[in-house]
Amino acid sequence: MSAASLLLALVSVSGAVLPAQKLERIKPSEADPRIHNYDEPNLILRPAAMDSVAPLMIFMPGTNGSPMGGLAVLQTMAKQGYRAIGLEYDDSPAVIQVCPATRREDCAAKFREMRIWGTGGSPDVHNPVEESIAARLIALLDTLAKRHPTENWGAYLTDSHGLNWSRIAVSGLSQGAGMAAFIAKKESVPRVVLFSCPIDGLGTLQDIRLAPWLDWPSATPADRWYAERNAREPFNDALMVSYPKLGIPKDHTLVFNLDLPPGFDRRNPMAYHGVTIRDERYLSQWKFMIGVATSP
């Protein structure tokens, strides 16, 4: 089902979608012509009351996903006062499709470092540095700064043209949530919002040995981490273990358990894995996890 069809289906569930907001689309190759793969448009939304120092929140989709699939959550971020970006990135294959077979405990960390920064020397996946998550975001922010010089998009970059993570909150679904968690382990960010991941490790979902990086000390304090799991999804049991290992407070971990809305195949248990970023019956939970943007 396409993202547009999913949104139409949700209208019939919730009665209405969120109020329309100005939506800007910029393909990664527009921001950096060296990018040739994974070129679905990035989505940019602004809060109604534009604040030149408001924090930015990025959302990274899951494996084989696209930023449009997270539109409802992105709209909620903007309504909560954030500048919101749905970021396209190299999202296939998934960590759990690659690392269990390698039997190497460092596989997941090297995989995610390669995808995020284009470094780490992963023997399992490769992407050019310019196609890394960090480089894509820097190129997009540069493009926004040039197109909208009065909006202060450069505030999310450092003087050395790196990312100013102290002003960039991170979120994502599935593989994208794992990327957000790995970034938050390495960098101190204002907020972390995880939808149904990470579950990096070896073994089966029933007998998983989670990757060591989940136990690493976190640069982002525990009280800034928020996460959800769907009680009916196949990854539920693994997430019950991984979230505490990440140090996420119990009262910051939500359990989603509503029936699937119309338009979703109830025979497919994976449908429960992604529905929690699309079903607006979870709007109050999204608001809790995302929080209200506060300027530094």
What are the pLDDT digits (tens) for 161-188?
999 999 999 999 999 999 999 999 999 9
User: In percent, how much of the chain has pLDDT > 90?
Assistant: 83
Residue 81 · residue 293 · CB < 8 Å: yes
The pLDDT value recorded for residue 86 is: 98
- Find, among 95, 274, 102, 285, the residue nearest to 182 by Cα: 95
204 confidence band (pLDDT: 50, 70, 90): low
The first and second tokens of residue 100, run together, are 């269990």
> pLDDT digit string (tens) for 48-83?
887 777 899 999 999 999 999 999 999 999 999 999
Give the pairing of strands 42-45 and 23-26: antiparallel
Q: At residue 84, does pLDDT exceed 90?
A: yes
Helices within the chain (DSSP H only) = 3-14, 28-31, 71-79, 95-102, 107-117, 133-147, 175-186, 236-246, 271-274, 283-290
Cα dihedral 218, 201, 125, 109 in deg (nearest 10):
20
Domains annotated on the chain, with CATH: 3-290 (3.40.50.1820)
User: What burial class does residue 111 get, using C-beta atoms within 10 Å of its C-beta: 0-12 exposed, 13-18 middle, 19+ buried?
Assistant: buried
End-to-end CA distance of the chain: 40
Q: Phi and psi (nearest 5°) for 151?
A: -100, 0
